[in-house]
Structure 1
Amino acid sequence: MSDTTTRALSLLNLLQTHRHWPGTELAARLGVTERTVRRDVDRLRELGYRVESTPGAAGGYRLEAGSAVPPLLLTDDEAVTMAIGLRVAATQQLVGGSEVTLTALAKLEQVLPSALRQRVNALAASVQAPRIGEGPVVSPVALGELALATRDTERLRLRYIDGAGIESIRRVEPHALAPAGRKWFLLCWDLDRDDWRTFRVDRIDTVEHTRVIFARREITAEQIEERVLIASSWTPQKIEADAVMELPLAPMQEWFGPWGQGATAEDDAHTRWPFGGSDWREAMYAMLWIPEGVEYTTTFPEPDRSALRESLQRMLRALDAPDPGPRA
């Protein structure tokens, strides 16, 4: 294989791994001049790849869908079948394969012509794949769009409907897509809240691309896993209450980390934190995480409030009573 062909294939691989590339960065990665990059782009166009270019200092190249499937050694029917199969696999959340499924789906759908993409959407809508357990229906179209934006570090506008049915428009920077249980979650930086948020993908109604590229924020895989775990474990609680602590919001959030999500400042010295549980014992456990020495009040509801008080009074009497002595 000639150096020219090898370089053109390397250029194609770069174009498939990111939505937009500045010409200077492509030249640096390939070890050639920008003029050589332009010639290699022309070769790809001759092969059927639609590579769009934008002039100027912030210009560059991006791979777009053309009028026919590029030479991937696939027929139209094979490409449609693969796209549908990848969509079904993504919504089924195959163990160990979610990331590979999404990246493959993103690469394939990026180059599908409009006519074939319409066939994929129509056929995928009629495919009723067997589901493993119960879970919400996730739109494979939205999942594919979110995967592309996450890969390309592109800001999005989302129309989101929360569990209470309240609709909101969110401007976000997507960082990770992750399955948990039978749900998909999008971890992103919410530009309006200036904080991390985790959204259920099945509650995202529309995805609007902005073509604005952002710089990825520092967050570890462990932190992503913890935030997705918190989001996936939240369900409506039998007991829901607030604790108002004698602690400013910033140190409270530092102490609780992502578990302090939902906390708000009452004033400069007090923070309100919502908590709950399936019963009063579980809710009491949440209150035990309030830092030592921090006084607080709570809206803990009756009759569970009385049950908790009676249990604590017995516990205090047991701690104040003489030691019963060693086991016989």
Structure 2
Amino acid sequence: MTTDTPARLLQLLSLLQTPREWPGGELSERLGVSRRTVRRDIDRLRELGYPVQATKGAEGGYRLVAGKAMPPLVLDDEEAVAIAVGLRAGAGHAVEGVEEASVRALAKLEQVLPSRLRHRVSTLQAATTPLTSGDGASIAPETLTVMASSVAGRERLRFAYRSGDGTPSRRLTEPYRLVSTGRRWYLVAYDLDREDWRTFRVDRVAEPFATGTRFAPGELPAGNAAEFLRQSMYRRQQTYDFEVVFAAPALFVAASLPAWLGTPEPIDDHSCRLRSSAGDSVEWLAVRIAMVDCEFEVREPAELVDSVRELGGRLLRGVGAGGAG
């Protein structure tokens, strides 16, 4: 019999989070208490915001249903390990669509994981290799979680940094936001030594350390962190304009390309046009465009047209005579 009410509530909540209906008698037996106590505990969970639905009848049952808000979850060991491994795998490769929220979730989860489970997560991840990864460099999940915690807690962050030409430095920053471009993670932060806002590629960061010193966030020069990063990247890179017409609806093409490449404009129900700017190599953009599962025509620039033509020829030569017929 569980006499400790908080412990019994957690045990009851863990049972209810299994997607099934629990008869009152079975809950009473599992918890070692009377049905009346079960009903009182159900009322306590409802007061805490958990939407528990009850069914009438001789064997009235209880089920946890979707509510208006997301209440705290209770995870068993296996569930916690599975979620942590999944979040680490996605965050470490900056997979497109995995935004800052997933890194914050990973930081919260790893903060409360017991050491035995944290060790299991690290061991499992070290023993497995993903078949595919994102286009950018992989990142240690610990680096992201330290940064995400510093952003959320408004703590100054110190780290070692390697610039594009390999020059090492030490940075003391007030971290503002983590931004994923789909290929890479970037940290937008105020650099205290340089007294200015900066962006840092996270795959070039080493030994991040939250100092514990709190700060009040300053005002970012741009409207938001993503816009500041975009402006910063374009200032540093030589960009070029491009235009591609796709033989597919705009929504289909938009879902197949990174959002930072721009938004396709519908021509009609079956085609669209993408006009935008890029700072990556034309070779990389040619490959990315070719990955969209539809016919397309590159209008400009001439360098991108030539790169797509060369890519197509290389693929045909790769098939060789064995592909005939």
TM-score by length of 1: 0.47
Task: Name the TM-score, length of structure 2 as normaliser.
Answer: 0.47
